[in-house]
């Protein structure tokens, strides 16, 4: 009973019911529109379907152990002597997904400050792995453009990325006709939320975070896609 009642007492759900009362009381189209928006993007049942779609159509959380291709880790910032948490997360994912391979393979890393990435992998990745680290550019679009010329399209790839970044990476890989999968271990935002009996009657703040990140990724990619023929800014050399 506690698990059923408790979500209704969270501030965002009190706000939902206050919103519903106001919409019924004043009968304004704008209030009903805002209520529908607030509920639709906060409801866990709907959001979990989006998470399932994202985890199958966009990224994967498992790579077959028979995989014999190469890996790509896109840069995630940092400095000449330090790694940010997002970079550490991607490198740990790389270690996990490549663990146990006895054949030779290459890891491509696109970042400005290579040494911290290379140092972090020492002792964590097999000695038969070759690391090719270079400055791919200031954005994901620069990185993919400069990376494409270094890759053998006959060798399959796994892009190791953050889950919120997977949509953009997959779309760019398709655009450059790369035989690639996107490996992204889900964070709390992209992991399914337990959906009990109160699922249809409540909203969850993590769902708003999910749609905010997805919206940002999709807007970024489709803005680039619509304008890439108008400007060649993403084609500038990596050192520019």
Mean pLDDT of the chain: 92
193-215: pLDDT as tens digits = 988 778 889 999 999 999 999 99
Average pLDDT over residues 143-171: 94
CA–CA distance, 75 with 55 (Å, rounded to integer)? 22
98-135: pLDDT as tens digits = 999 999 999 999 999 999 999 999 999 999 999 999 99
Burial of 210 (0-12, 13-18, 19+ CB in 10 A): buried
pLDDT at 35 over 50: yes
**Which residues, 6+ apart, have CB-to-CB distance to 132 below 8 Å?**
106, 107, 108, 109, 150
Q: What is the DSSP letter of 236?
A: S
């Amino acid at each position: 009973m506690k698990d059923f009642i408790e979500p209704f007492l969270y501030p965002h759900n009190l706000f939902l019911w206050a919103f519903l009362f106001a919409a019924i009381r004043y009968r304004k189209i704008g209030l009903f529109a805002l209520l529908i928006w607030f509920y639709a993007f906060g409801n866990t049942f709907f959001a979990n379907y989006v998470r399932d779609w994202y985890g199958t159509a966009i990224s994967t959380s498992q790579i077959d152990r028979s995989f014999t291709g190469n890996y790509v880790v896109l840069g995630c910032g940092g400095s000449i002597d330090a790694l940010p948490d997002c970079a550490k997360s991607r490198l740990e994912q790389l270690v996990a997904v490549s663990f146990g391979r006895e054949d030779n393979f290459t890891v491509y890393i696109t970042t400005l400050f290579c040494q911290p990435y290379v140092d972090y992998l020492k002792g964590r990745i097999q000695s038969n792995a070759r690391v090719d680290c270079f400055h791919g550019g200031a954005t994901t679009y620069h990185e993919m453009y400069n990376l494409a010329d270094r890759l053998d399209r006959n060798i399959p790839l796994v892009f190791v990325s953050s889950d919120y970044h997977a949509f953009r990476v997959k779309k760019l890989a398709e655009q450059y006709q790369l035989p690639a999968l996107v490996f992204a271990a889900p964070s709390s935002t992209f992991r399914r939320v337990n959906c009990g009996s109160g699922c249809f009657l409540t909203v969850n703040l993590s769902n708003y975070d999910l749609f905010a990140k997805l919206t940002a990724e999709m807007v970024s990619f489709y803005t680039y896609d619509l304008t890439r023929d108008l400007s060649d800014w993403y084609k500038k050399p990596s050192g520019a």
